[in-house]
């Protein structure tokens, strides 16, 4: 097989509908494009989704096809055979309540097994339809303050978040899918929704590192990618974490030793507006330490980025190497073959046993 003339660039963008139009093709073929993220509007059924991902890969075999597919209220594909996975809080509740009065260790073990099953079902089903990667798991702590996080969080307890996320990541790995912890260092305390506002977290650095950031520290080398929060922590930096060299370079890279991919959150969100224009936002994010930037639901802004973003060749070579590690290394099972696979059947059976699906 001849080597692709492309290598993944720093921009992850979306496509408009159920199939590619000419503008989508032009954007995907642009050398600055490194990924395509899919949304609910891009899914009608499994056959259509598989056809769409195949069309993207025909154009650019090197781009990472991703999706937000966590379970609960954040799951883009829910019909035509896809398992509607539970919100992650359900796994935390299983840890805390199942057999807790007399068998707490057994309760924890069962919750971790269920998390692994969730990860495997999630990744295997997506991969059977040509999706490479999901932006999961959420590592934010559930302080009961953030509506946008809410039941997407495993727990208020960082130790439970760590254990269940590590187990879910193992399920992803078994299906040859990488993971992405979000939203570093933590979006659970800030009440505002960064999609429509600019959240602020006034707590001191020590408190955040000793609580919210602990799952990132403990997950260590098992964490393949991280997405920082569009949250300002003014006692640390005036910029949101995704635009902050302090958070991304000094703390995440140097202090915590993270060596994986850093994705910006969506640059079209209100939480990113402090950076100014989308091009300025992308430049700030990349300069702060991001390897890739997301631009979603605004094809006009995607076009601006593709036309105007300047990227250091040296930095992009490092980021490309990291991004390539997220690509699955083994062929995926076809959907019909997956239904007969013992590991998949066992995982679904376990989730049904605990009324999680």
Enumerate the active-site residues. Answer: 195, 265
318: phi then psi, degrees, rounded to nearest 5: -65, -45
Instruction: Tell me whether residue 273 is in a domain.
Output: yes
User: How many domains does the chain fold into?
Assistant: 1
Instruction: Tell me whether residue 1 is in a domain.
Output: no
Q: Which two tokens stand for residue 339?
A: 């239904």
Q: CA-to-CA distance for 342 and 332, rounded, in angstroms?
A: 15
Instruction: Tell me whether residue 6 is in a domain.
Output: no
Q: CA-to-CA distance for 115 and 112, rounded, in angstroms?
A: 5
Instruction: Tell me whether residue 2 is in a domain.
Output: no
Q: CA-to-CA distance for 296 and 227, rounded, in angstroms?
A: 15
32: phi then psi, degrees, rounded to nearest 5: -80, -10
Q: Which residues of 73-100 are buried (b: 16+ CB within 10 A; e: fewer)?
A: ebbbbeeeebbebbbbbbbbbbbeebee
How crowded is residue 298: how many other Cβ atoms within 10 Å of its Cβ?
16
Q: What per-residue confidence (pLDDT) applies to 194?
A: 66
Q: At what angle do helices 278-288 and 299-308 cross, to 10 degrees?
A: 60
* Nearest Cα residue to 33 out of 228, 303, 269: 303
Which CATH number belongs to the domain containing residue 126 in this structure? 3.20.20.300
Q: At what angle do helices 88-97 and 158-174 cross, to 10 degrees?
A: 120
323 touches 291 (CB < 8 A): yes
Query: Can you give the pLDDT of all 357 residues of the chain as single tens digits?
Result: 334 556 889 999 999 999 999 999 999 999 999 999 999 999 999 999 999 999 999 999 999 999 999 999 999 999 999 999 999 999 999 998 855 555 667 889 999 999 999 999 999 999 999 999 999 999 999 999 998 999 999 999 999 999 999 999 999 999 999 999 999 999 999 987 767 678 899 999 999 999 999 999 999 999 999 999 999 999 999 999 999 999 999 999 999 999 999 999 999 876 556 667 899 999 999 999 999 999 999 999 999 999 999 998 888 899 999 999 999 999 999 999 999 999 999 999 999 999 999
Instruction: Tell me whether residue 139 is in a domain.
Output: yes
14: phi then psi, degrees, rounded to nearest 5: -110, 175
Question: CA of 131: how far to CAs of 69, 225, 255, 304, 328, in Å?
Answer: 11, 17, 33, 26, 10
Instruction: Tell me whether residue 266 is in a domain.
Output: yes
Range of the domain at 23: 11-353
């Amino acid at each position: 097989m001849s080597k692709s003339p492309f290598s993944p660039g720093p921009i992850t963008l979306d496509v408009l509908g159920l199939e590619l139009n000419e503008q989508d093709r032009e954007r995907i073929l642009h050398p600055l494009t490194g990924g395509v993220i899919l949304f609910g509007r891009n899914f009608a059924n499994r056959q259509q989704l598989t056809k769409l991902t195949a069309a993207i890969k025909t154009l650019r075999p090197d781009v990472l096809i991703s999706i937000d597919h966590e379970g609960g209220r954040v799951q883009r594909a829910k019909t035509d055979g896809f398992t509607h996975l539970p919100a992650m809080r359900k796994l935390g509740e299983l840890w805390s309540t199942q057999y807790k009065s007399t068998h707490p260790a057994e309760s924890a073990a069962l919750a971790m097994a269920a998390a692994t099953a969730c990860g495997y079902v999630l990744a295997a089903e997506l991969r059977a339809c040509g999706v490479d990667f999901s932006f999961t798991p959420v590592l934010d702590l559930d302080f009961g303050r953030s509506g946008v996080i809410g039941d997407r969080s495993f727990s208020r307890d960082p130790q439970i978040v760590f254990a269940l996320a590590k187990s879910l990541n193992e399920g992803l790995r078994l299906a040859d899918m990488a993971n992405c912890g979000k939203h570093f260092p933590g979006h659970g305390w800030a009440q505002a929704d960064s999609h429509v506002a600019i959240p602020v977290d006034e707590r001191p650095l020590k408190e955040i590192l000793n609580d919210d950031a602990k799952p990132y520290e403990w997950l260590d080398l098992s964490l393949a990618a991280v997405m920082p929060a569009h949250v300002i922590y003014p006692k640390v930096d005036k910029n949101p974490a995704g635009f902050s060299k302090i958070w991304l370079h000094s703390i995440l890279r140097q202090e915590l030793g993270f060596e994986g991919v850093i994705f910006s959150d969506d640059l079209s969100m209100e939480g990113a507006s402090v950076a100014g224009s989308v091009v300025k936002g992308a430049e700030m994010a990349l300069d702060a330490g991001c390897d890739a930037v997301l631009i979603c639901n605004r094809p006009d802004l995607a076009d601006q980025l593709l036309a105007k973003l300047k990227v250091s060749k040296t930095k992009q070579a490092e980021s490309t190497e990291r991004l390539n590690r997220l690509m699955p290394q083994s062929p995926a099972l076809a959907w019909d073959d997956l239904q007969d696979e013992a590991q998949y059947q066992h995982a679904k059976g376990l989730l049904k046993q605990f009324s999680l699906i």
